[in-house]
Structure 1
Amino acid sequence: MFTRLIKKMLPRGLYGRAALIMLVPILTIQLVVSAAFLQRHFDGVTRQMMEGLAVELRFIIQEIERGGIWAGRSVAAPLEISLFEGGDKPFEGDGLEARAFYDLSGRSVIEVLRRAVPEVTWIDLITDDSKVMIGLRLADGTRVDAEIARRRVSASNPHQLLVLMVFTGILMTTVAFLFLRNQLRPIRRLARAAEDFGKGRIVDYSPAGALEVRSAGRAFLDMRNRIENQIEQRTMMLSGVSHDLRTPLTRMKLGLSVMEESEDVTALRRDVEEMETLLEAFLDFARGDALDDLAELDIDKFLREIVSDATRSGAQISFAHSSNSGMLQDYTATFRPAVLRRALGNLISNAQRYGSEARVTLSLTPRQWRISVEDDGPGIPADQREEAMRPFVRLDVARNQNRGSGVGLGLAIAQDIARRHGGRLTLGQSADLGGLKADIILPR
């Protein structure tokens, strides 16, 4: 419980944690050393000054015993010590020691006075913090009060050291923060480049900073180049495969078209059409977003166009905003419109195939936007939703395949496109329509 609380209190960012690692030891050492230095320095200085004052007080006491209070005053005046006859000051009671708890040097004052001047009966360091007021009882019972300036018994201006220490600490901390920010800036640039690449965006990046950061940056660039080369090679290979497979399929269709109609010819024609459908679906899945460029568009207008096209094709589909996105005015988003249209087209096609009514809902938050496609069909059981998004998987029990043609790539293509935009595809149950609810969640 305590460890969890500490983790919640600690900063989560690298900048905050690095600053904490830097500041905590410095402040701790500074406080400990300063406290020890101040205590030893002021304690030693105070004791030395008090030893000298004790000698003066003993000399004044001797003069008072020899010639009375006036003789003592004549000696005390040049020493900046004021003497008063006992009772002039409202301090009574032997053994009184008035000292503030934070007055560390006052403890040394009292200790030295008690030890070096036995005639001292009370000591007051509180009534006037600029003076030391003491009471004396001489051997004949005479009571004398004395006032001594505090600067004579303690080191003056102790705050100067504290001010200098604080000012120097702030200055060096500022310099350290500036240096730390410069060191963390390359890490942030690397993180932004990796995040943009995860969303399908290629931004300019050059390694900079410390050797370790440069090494990580070069590794990232190598990885990004390898992935781009693999995507390019896959696209070229698929283009070749598409051409090589379409040619024999076309010949087969032409050959079947000139043959006399029969049951076998009809079955072969269906097989060829199914092979062509499989080929198109596979190429759509494998091609992904390699042939599409990023564009900044109005997501609200984009979705309304898709729903309008689906409505014209005969689908019973509606478009709506969620309650939390109605307050937002900026619907600008950066994505690949062609492939995102393909992903939503697959989801809408599935909703139309397996249900009679569908709905597209747009929900925006400050960090992400969500597109939900719901239908009133049979839905998919919760334990089969992960499997349903795998390529070429058909869930005959959950989704009646007799209601339309399909090769099991619609959800897989939509999931792949969402991932290439840095998001994800989730499946659930529609609370309103009762069927499947597919959410494409993408970062803003």
Structure 2
Amino acid sequence: MFFKWLKRYMPRGIYARAALIIVLPVFLLQVVVSFQLVRRHFEGVTNQMTFAAAREVQLIINLVEDPDLEAGVVPSVLDGLDMTLTTHKTLDAKDSRLWYDFTGIIIMRVLREQLPQLRAVQLADDKVVRLFLQTKPTAISVEFERRRASASNSHQLIVSMVFFGIILTIVAYLYMRNQLRPIKRLAAAAEAFGRGRTVPYSPGGAIEIRAAGSAFLDMRNRIERFFEQRTLMLSGISHDLRTPLTRLKLGLSMIDDDDRADLEKDVEEMQRMIDAFLDYTRSDYEDQRTKVNAADFVRDIVDGCARAGQNVILYKIKGDGDISFSTDTVRRAVENLIGNAVRYGNHAEVSVRITDKSVRIRVEDDGPGIASQDREEAIKPFARLEPARNQNKGPGVGLGLSIAADVARAHGGVLRLGESERLGGLRADLVFGL
């Protein structure tokens, strides 16, 4: 439970996590070392130095309380000990020290243990120690330099530790960044390939990262060979079918009208299937990307489909903005979605929503739709769901949704299928990131 709570506050980026791995141990090490150093070293040194200062103050007290002592002895001793003595009629002083003066606690404790006559200790700054004592003849105060009771500039060691800790952290971070850069390059190459683009990449970094990069290159080469073979196969089949199809058209033109209608319908269906195959072979989508206005682009597609006799309207446009993509391939994807909508339904509506982060092109129809458990299967190539989809205008090839999904993935987007709340049929969303 604790780790799940902690995970929410952990940084997500690999650079931030690497920095945390480096900085946190260094910080904890400095805290532990500083604590032990102050507790053991400075405490011991302060104890010894304060004890020595207390012995000197006790000497002065003894001299002051000695009635037989000559008058000039006390000033002479004070000069030799570099201390100042002041007499008082009454003592109303209280203990005082700076809030951050931790060694002052030790000084006060040792002085009270060694000097029974002590009434108050004032450590108003880190330069002077002032003691208020009640002797037998009178009340006195003794002043001496703070450096005689505790080590001076004790903070310098901590400052040095912090300074060199920061320097070493920066050096370690720079080294770690060089180690992580090959991982970032590998991730960028994999992301680009997932979107249909091949960027130059060569393995680098540590042995394990080089092995992962080499495995990625092998995988990318195999996938590219597979796409190339598939494209060549479908292109060859489609191209070879065009010649006999042309001969069939010429032969049908010489047949009587009564016998020709059904045959021409079959030929048109064959032509439609060949065109679909050719569209699918162009799934690499390496066309030049162009920056266009998304609303105007979709409006032009809908107008073209309407002029071609398809029952489709532009329902709504929300927002405005430009998007950069391959206009030919995206146009083909939207036209395929509209073609599917009017094929399996009677009416189709297209809407566009444009935000700062994405563009969504939605195509809805009033057909029977696709059951939720069949939507993933429907996107696969050559998938045909005749039991669920009532075909009003002849059978399809099963490539329309697959082509649209490939186009979306090539542009870093996604194709989502759902149920139209307004029309009751299928809802297909093409979502592109900006």
Q: TM-score range by the shorter chain?
A: 0.7 to 0.9
Gaps of 5+ in 2: none
| Cα drift, residue 188 of structure 1 | 1.8
Range moving further from structure 2, 9-18 or 28-37 = 28-37
Q: Does 1:63 align with 2:42?
A: no
Question: Secondary structure in 1 aligned to 2:428?
Answer: strand
In structure 2, the partner of 1:26 is: 26
Question: Structure 1 pair 69/192, CA: closer, same or farther in 2 (3 Å)?
Answer: farther
**Residue 104 of structure 1: which of 99, 102, 122 is its match?**
102
Whole-Å separation in 2 of the counterparts to 1:85 and 1:235: 107
Question: Secondary structure in 1 aligned to 2:8?
Answer: helix
| Cα drift, residue 101 of structure 1 | 6.1
Q: Could you tell me whether the CA contact under 8 Å between 1:298 and 1:333 is conserved in 2?
A: yes
| Cα drift, residue 258 of structure 1 | 6.6
Q: Does 1:312 align with 2:302?
A: no
| Cα drift, residue 124 of structure 1 | 1.8
| Cα drift, residue 110 of structure 1 | 2.7
Question: Could you list the per-position Cα deviations for residues 159-192 of structure 1 after superposition, in whole angstroms to 9, with x for gaps in the alignment?
Answer: 2223222222222222222223233222222222
In structure 2, the partner of 1:298 is: 292
Map residues 263-274 of structure 1 onto 2, 5 A cutoff.
274=269
| Cα drift, residue 274 of structure 1 | 4.5
Q: Does 1:427 align with 2:425?
A: no
Question: Could you list the per-position Cα deviations for residues 179-206 of structure 1 after superposition, in whole angstroms to 9, with x for gaps in the alignment?
Answer: 2323322222222221111111122223
Question: Could you list the per-position Cα deviations for residues 371-405 of structure 1 after superposition, in whole angstroms to 9, with x for gaps in the alignment?
Answer: 21123444334343333334444444543213444
AA paired with 1:386? E
Question: Secondary structure in 1 aligned to 2:370?
Answer: coil
**Residue 226 of structure 2: which of 223, 230, 245 is its match?**
230
Question: Structure 1 pair 190/31, CA: closer, same or farther in 2 (3 Å)?
Answer: same
| Cα drift, residue 24 of structure 1 | 0.5
Map residues 83-122 of structure 1 onto 2, 5 A cutoff.
83-87=85-89, 89-91=91-93, 98=96, 102-117=100-115, 119-122=116-119
Range moving further from structure 2, 122-131 or 149-158 = 122-131
In structure 2, the partner of 1:346 is: 336
The two structures have a TM-score, normalised by structure 1, of 0.84
Q: Does 1:36 align with 2:36?
A: yes
Question: Structure 1 pair 365/5, CA: closer, same or farther in 2 (3 Å)?
Answer: farther
Q: Does 1:133 align with 2:130?
A: yes
| Cα drift, residue 270 of structure 1 | 5.6
Whole-Å separation in 1 of the counterparts to 2:87 and 2:70: 10
Whole-Å separation in 2 of the counterparts to 1:28 and 1:39: 16
Whole-Å separation in 2 of the counterparts to 1:142 and 1:191: 83
Question: Secondary structure in 2 aligned to 1:228?
Answer: helix
Question: Secondary structure in 2 aligned to 1:209?
Answer: coil
Whole-Å separation in 1 of the counterparts to 2:225 and 2:369: 39
Question: Secondary structure in 2 aligned to 1:122?
Answer: strand
Whole-Å separation in 2 of the counterparts to 1:170 and 1:373: 57
Alignment size in residue pairs: 430
Question: Secondary structure in 1 aligned to 2:200?
Answer: coil
| Cα drift, residue 127 of structure 1 | 4.3
| Cα drift, residue 14 of structure 1 | 0.3
AA paired with 2:108? I
Range moving further from structure 2, 44-53 or 28-37 = 44-53
Q: Could you tell me whether the CA contact under 8 Å between 2:285 and 2:407 is conserved in 1?
A: no
Whole-Å separation in 2 of the counterparts to 1:272 and 1:354: 21
The two structures have a TM-score, normalised by structure 2, of 0.86
**Residue 199 of structure 1: which of 195, 200, 209 is its match?**
195
Question: Structure 1 pair 443/288, CA: closer, same or farther in 2 (3 Å)?
Answer: farther
Q: Could you tell me whether the CA contact under 8 Å between 2:93 and 2:120 is conserved in 1?
A: no
Whole-Å separation in 1 of the counterparts to 2:270 and 2:70: 128
